[in-house]
Amino acid sequence: MDFNVEKVPARTIYNLLIGLVAPRPIALITSMNEDGRLNAAPFSAYNYLCTDPPVVGIGVMNKPGEHFVPKDTARNIRRTGQFVVNVVTEDLLQQMNVCATDFPEDVDELDMAGLTTTPSTNVKVPRIAQAHAALECVEHATIEIGRSRIILGRVVGIYVEDQFIDPAGPYVKSEDLHAIGRMNGLGSYVKTRDAFVTLPRISYEDWKKGTR
């Protein structure tokens, strides 16, 4: 099927894009408002964009409805300039999903999900204590595009539990971390446990020799 994005409803474009740009990592973002009230919500329109300098990007749609009301995460980041990306792993899947519930403003999502926080090293916003890895970020820019915002965050600190670091690189022991990916908007996710395929890069020298 061919879909002309000018002619199909926004919901169709959403359904198609989030099903095709997949699997996606999930950022469970903690942020704070001006009064220090903590917020947590998952975002899968998320990736790192460059490493020098280290920058991540997050796409946040406005709250549903006619009015241009940003989600709490986007509003907090614009107003206080800091956030933490908590890496979502298999053991945090259910809790992550609870954090996506549209609770009234005075309800603490982390509390509802049974999660707690611990201080970050480089930003005021705490990370989630149960998360095995986290990126501490400061807002580089927020770009408003139609009903969405693209947030560029400069990574100022990286936390990884020691057990998930291979000191040789150092590398992340991805096979042990069990990160989760989002597949579509129907609640489908992928686990990465026992799912690894290792494919080293081929140098041109080896290519010419026919070594693959």
Binding site for ligand FMN (CB under 6 A): 26, 39, 41-45, 59-61, 71-73, 97, 100, 102, 182
Complex with ligand FMN: residue 81 or 165, whichever CB lies closer: 81
Please say which residue, 127 or 182, places its beta carbon nearer to ligand FMN. 182
Q: What is the closest distance, in whole angstroms, from the C-beta atom of residue 42 to ligand FMN in the complex?
A: 4
- 74 CA to centre of own chain: 13
Give the amino acid at 52: D
The dihedrals phi and psi of 135, each to the nearest 5 degrees, come to -110, 120
Lookup: tokens for 17? 């894009």
| CB closer to ligand FMN out of 75 and 132 | 75
Sequential DSSP letters for 27-44: EEEEEE-TT--EEEEEE-
Residue 21: count other Cβ atoms within 10 Å of its Cβ. Answer: 12
Of 60 and 113, nearer to ligand FMN (C-beta) is: 60
Residue 68: how many CB atoms within 10 A of its CB? 10
Q: By C-beta, is 95 or 120 nearer to ligand FMN?
A: 95
Terminal-to-terminal C-alpha distance of the chain: 36
- The least distance separating ligand FMN from the CB of residue 174, rounded to whole angstroms, comes to 19
- Enter the tokens of residue 111: 């509390």
Residue 96's alpha-carbon distances to 41, 42, 43, 93, in angstroms, are: 7, 6, 10, 5
The least distance separating ligand FMN from the CB of residue 6, rounded to whole angstroms, comes to 22
Looking at this protein, which amino acid is placed at residue 49?
A: L
